Amino acid sequence: MRALSVLILWRMATSLAAVEPGAPELWARYRWGMMAVVVAGLLMLALIVVLLLERQRRRGAQRLNLAVLDSLPGAVAILDSNGAVLRASAPSAQREGLGALSTQRLVFPGRSYLQALQKLTHAGELETAGVASLLENVLSGRVEEGMVEFRGPRADTWFELRARRLELPGGGAVVTVVDATPRRRAELEARRARDERAHMERVAAVGELGASIAHELNQPLSAILTNAETALRLLHRTPADLPLLREVLEDIISDDKRAGEIIRRTRAMLKKDQAPFASHDFNELVRQVAQLASNDAQLRGATLTLHLADAPLPVKGDGVQLQQVVLNLIINALDAVGPCPPGERQVWVRTQRTDGRVELVVEDAGVGLSPEVQKRLFEPFFTTKPAGLGMGLSISRSILEVHQGRLQAEPRPGRGTVFRCSLPAA
């Protein structure tokens, strides 16, 4: 293009130079034609200048785009509507955390982003299945944007991938991968610390029930002893009363099972490991805790009344942790009715289903909540009890948060307090 314009200009110059001043007719005859050639040449020149400027502007814009892309946190890639890489940010020191996932190996234009990612993570289809479906949904326009986390190539490394649809007629998406390992580790650490506190608090709560558990165990143990002595006496009789002997032995077995169940329940509450989320009947969880606490209530001269919903109340979660919440609320209610005169130490425990949620209401006719206590109730280490830890309610609330549940307290009309805890029904 440049050579052509030089040629045209040279032709124009030579033709103008060829017009001799002494040849006016020739000039008059070709004047318009020659002027047209000059104008055309000038236009061509202007066009070339414009094209050169435009090319420079585009290069500048491209450089700016790349600089912006490179300055973004994480590894950024722009994909076409088929999921092939159009452009990607360059690897840099900042992205070291991305290790093998640094864009260096994902940049090849035309390469399928997903396949490259799967190859790099070595984690197989399972780990990146979420990424595949997210990219598919974003590229097809079913969703505007989304985020998934997946495991990295090294042990205990995590990545967060965000994909957003490009607002262009041809579609496409912009994908960012950032190292989520530090956040994941911090979350894990926080969870470990919370579970540790929860376990401590559970041990303290079960410790409070120690006397009542011993009392509860004593009943089946003394029944076993009495029945065993009866069985021995029956054996010495002639003829031996076999049907009665069978009955006595059956009683021994059932008492032994009862004692075993008390120990099993207590051990489950003291267990340190976290159980994976599973389905439970909330009624059953509450019934077991109420049984564990009923002896304690009796020893304190309090009445614990249970009103369970007729139908099972399915919930999903860690059964032991949910029971810990129930136990905390019941022990607090029993503590609250302690100063009341005997006969007025009443605690009610109710379960019900409301609007797709499962609700537990623990109500007491105890000392109630002063405005100061009500304000600070859920604060860690807040306690008004001489031997209190002040962790029960704060831990109960965080257990419920993990289960997408809620816990709130309100004064009971007349006297006492109502604690309401609700969980999504499974």
Binding residues vs ligand ADP (CB under 6 A)? 328, 332-333, 336, 364, 366-367, 369, 373, 377, 382-385, 388-394, 417
Q: Where are the beta strands (DSSP E) in 243-334?
A: 278-281, 303-307, 314-317
Nearer to ligand ADP, 358 or 407 (CB): 407
Nearer to ligand ADP, 103 or 398 (CB): 398
Nearer to ligand ADP, 173 or 329 (CB): 329
d(CA 67, CA 65): 5
d(CA 288, CA 235): 37
Nearer to ligand ADP, 130 or 301 (CB): 301
Q: SS3 string of 203-215?
A: HHHHHHCHHHHHH
| 3-class DSSP assignment, residue 338 | coil
- Taking the complex as a whole, how short is the minimal distance between the CB of residue 408 and ligand ADP, in angstroms? 12
- Taking the complex as a whole, how short is the minimal distance between the CB of residue 293 and ligand ADP, in angstroms? 14
- Taking the complex as a whole, how short is the minimal distance between the CB of residue 204 and ligand ADP, in angstroms? 8
- Taking the complex as a whole, how short is the minimal distance between the CB of residue 255 and ligand ADP, in angstroms? 34
What is the distance between the terminal CA atoms of the chain, rounded to a whole angstrom?
A: 73
Nearer to ligand ADP, 391 or 421 (CB): 391
Nearer to ligand ADP, 314 or 411 (CB): 411
- Taking the complex as a whole, how short is the minimal distance between the CB of residue 411 and ligand ADP, in angstroms? 9
- Taking the complex as a whole, how short is the minimal distance between the CB of residue 187 and ligand ADP, in angstroms? 24
Cis link prior to 239 (omega < 30° from 0)? Answer: yes
**What does DSSP say about strands 314-317 and 278-281: parallel, antiparallel, or unpaired?**
antiparallel
Return the sign of the alpha-carbon dihedral for residues 194, 197, 202, 205.
negative
- Taking the complex as a whole, how short is the minimal distance between the CB of residue 72 and ligand ADP, in angstroms? 45
Nearer to ligand ADP, 197 or 316 (CB): 197
* Residue number with the smallest Cβ distance to ligand ADP: 392
- Cα 357 from chain centre: 20
CA quadruple 118, 122, 123, 128: dihedral, nearest 10: -10
- Taking CB atoms within 8 Å and a gap of at least 24, the contacts of 35-40 are 37/11, 37/12, 38/12, 40/8
